[in-house]
Every structure is written in structure tokens, then in C-alpha cells.
């Protein structure tokens, strides 16, 4: 499985494969398992359906590493419109952005200005802005953006990747600063000097970080912790800890991707747990899609069945 994961992550950046896949009706059909459509309207339609099942959402437009400042400004304008739509419809939804969508590679001053503007719009509607974490080389710059938002007393959340060795130190800095954290395992191809290569070690680090965050949030009433995992065994460990330590439901939510472990999402929600589904949309879905397959290479068989059936 480790080799399959590495292969899928390597293919996620292959330009020729990206071009072929995004024009293939068969591949596009398989993608619908993981995203309701390419338009914001599709994402918000799914959000309304999930609301009926007592689940909240986070929506994000796919795309990263843009090439011009004008592209970054256009993305920011679309996110501003999304924040306004969410507020006007009264949806239990947040927007999550990627820094390289907003020009981090091109102009850091511009990127910060766009991120702060979106955080201000989100706060005006009573919501936080969420910031995704990309590969390890962007961690410092992404956390600098988080700091810039917090310095303006605006609510913000950021994804922290448990497979990075540095994440324990980052958590210790972010949590006291009032930053919400979405704890994920990590989905980029990283060298073993930077990220833990063994799943067992990642799982143990995730559990350690999660329990530390939950304990702190329960004690201080800090910002909500998003436990972003589809790993049933890990969730069982977390549930046992939450029961034993009497962690209030108000300090955490489970966060899962649209179309993955749907039955588990529904079960947790039916049991009264707060569940938030991450919904992606947009035309630039191929790298993201390959990372989803890499998280669970068995999903490749689902794609293969679609290819054969198509």
C-alpha cells in the first residue's frame, strides 16, 4: 500500500495525465464519488442536503499554484461571493482556502491582503475563515498568514498535518493563540526527513496531538478542534478518550470528506456527534483527486470498475 500511495502522489503532478484525465468522461464520472460537481451551486446544494442530516460543511474551490496575480484576485472574488451566498442562505458552512490559490508563490503581500480580506468578510457573517495546509515547504508561510489574521482579532482555522515532525511544536504555538485546528494525517509526498513514513507512527502522532488539543480546549474553552480522519480504528480510540476524559461535545467536530465513509458520517451524526463534511468543487480537481486515492489506494479499484464499465 505504501508503494501504491507514493505512485499515486507522484502521478498527481503529471501534466500529461492531468490533461487526459480532466477531459475523460470516464474519469470525470468516477470523480463524482468525491465531489458533487464543479460549481459552487453544486457544493451548496450538497450542503443543503447534509443540513437535513444534521451535518455542517466546509467548502473549498480546487486549484493551487496559480501563475498570475490577476488569477489570485479572481479566486478571492469567487470566495467572497461564496461567503456571501453561505451567509444569505443561513448555511452551517465555512470556506477554506489554499494560500497558493491566492498568490502565495507570486506576491506574499498580495496573498496576505486577500486572506485578511476574506477573513474579515467571514467574521462579518459570524464565521471563521479556514486555511488549508499544502506541502511542507509552505508551512511557515501559511502559519505567517494565520498570524496576520489573528493579529487583527479575526477568527481563523488552519489544517495541521500529523505526519510532519514539526506539528507538535506548531500545535503548541497555535492553540494558545486562539487558532482553530483541523487535524489531518497529511496527503502530500514528503521526504522521510520531514514526514513520518510509517502509518503506525502517523496514527500515534495524530492521536497524541488530538488528545492534547481536546484536553486543552476542554480546559480553556478554546476554539473548536476538527478531528479530520476517516480511520475507523482511530475514531474508536478518540471516542474512548472523549468518554473517559468527559470531553464536552462543544469543543470538537469530526471532519470528513464528501463521499468517503458516508455511513460512518451518518452514524456519528445520528449518535449526536457534530460532523462537518468537506466539499470540494471546481475544474482543477485532478491533483486533489489523486491525493484522495492515495489516502486509500483501495479506492483505485472503484475507479477501475468505472473504467471497465465505461
Among 213, 216, 153, 204, which Cα is nearest to 183's?
Answer: 213
Active site residue 182: yes
In order of their start, the domains of the chain are 36-284 (3.20.20.220)
219 vs 227: CA distance, rounded Å = 18
Catalytic-role residue among 127, 132, 203, 273: 132
Active site residue 219: no
Split at pLDDT 50, 70, 90, the class of 6 is: low
pLDDT score at 288: 62
Please write the tens of the pLDDT for every residue from 213-254: 999 999 998 889 999 999 999 999 999 999 999 999 999 999
pLDDT score at 152: 97
Q: Contact, 22 vs 283, CB < 8 A?
A: yes
What is the radius of gyration, based on Cα positions, of the chain?
18
Q: Contact, 146 vs 140, CB < 8 A?
A: no
User: The pTM is what?
Assistant: 0.85
Average pLDDT over residues 198-218: 96
pLDDT score at 1: 45
Q: Is it the case that residue 2 has pLDDT exceeding 70?
A: no
Question: 83-97, 167-181, 195-209, 281-295: which has the minimum mean pLDDT?
Answer: 281-295
Catalytic-role residue among 5, 127, 170, 182: 182
Amino acid at each position: 500500500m505504501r508503494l501504491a500511495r507514493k505512485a499515486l502522489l507522484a502521478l498527481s503532478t503529471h501534466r500529461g495525465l492531468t490533461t487526459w484525465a480532466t477531459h475523460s468522461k470516464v474519469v470525470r464520472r468516477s470523480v463524482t464519488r468525491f465531489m458533487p460537481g464543479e460549481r459552487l451551486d453544486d457544493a451548496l446544494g450538497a450542503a443543503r442536503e447534509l443540513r437535513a442530516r444534521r451535518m455542517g460543511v466546509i467548502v473549498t474551490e480546487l486549484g493551487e499554484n496559480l501563475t498570475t496575480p490577476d488569477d489570485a484576485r479572481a479566486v478571492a472574488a469567487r470566495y467572497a461571493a461564496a461567503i456571501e451566498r453561505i451567509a444569505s442562505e443561513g448555511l452551517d458552512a465555512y470556506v477554506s482556502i489554499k494560500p497558493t490559490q491566492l498568490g502565495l508563490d507570486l506576491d506574499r503581500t498580495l496573498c496576505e491582503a486577500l486572506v485578511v480580506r476574506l477573513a474579515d468578510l467571514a467574521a462579518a457573517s459570524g464565521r471563521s475563515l479556514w486555511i488549508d495546509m499544502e506541502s511542507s515547504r509552505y508551512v511557515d508561510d501559511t502559519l505567517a498568514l494565520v498570524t496576520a489574521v489573528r493579529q487583527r482579532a479575526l477568527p481563523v482555522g488552519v489544517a495541521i498535518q500529523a505526519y510532519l515532525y514539526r506539528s507538535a511544536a506548531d500545535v503548541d504555538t497555535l492553540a494558545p493563540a486562539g487558532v482553530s485546528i483541523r487535524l489531518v494525517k497529511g496527503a502530500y509526498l514528503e521526504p522521510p526527513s520531514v514526514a513520518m513514513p510509517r502509518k503506525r507512527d502517523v496514527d500515534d502522532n495524530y492521536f497524541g496531538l488530538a488528545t492534547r488539543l481536546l484536553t486543552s480546549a476542554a480546559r480553556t474553552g478554546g476554539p473548536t478542534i476538527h478531528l479530520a480522519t476517516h480511520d475507523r480504528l482511530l475514531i474508536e480510540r478518540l471516542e474512548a478518550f472523549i468518554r473517559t476524559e468527559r470531553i464536552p461535545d462543544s469543543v470538537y467536530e469530526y471532519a470528513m470528506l464528501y463521499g468517503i465513509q458516508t455511513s460512518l458520517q451518518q452514524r456519528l451524526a445520528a449518535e449526536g456527534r457534530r460532523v462537518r463534511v468537506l466539499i470540494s468543487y471546481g475544474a482543477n480537481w485532478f491533483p486533489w483527486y489523486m491525493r484522495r486515492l492515495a489516502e486509500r489506494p483501495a479506492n483505485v479499484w472503484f475507479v477501475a470498475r468505472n473504467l471497465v464499465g465505461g
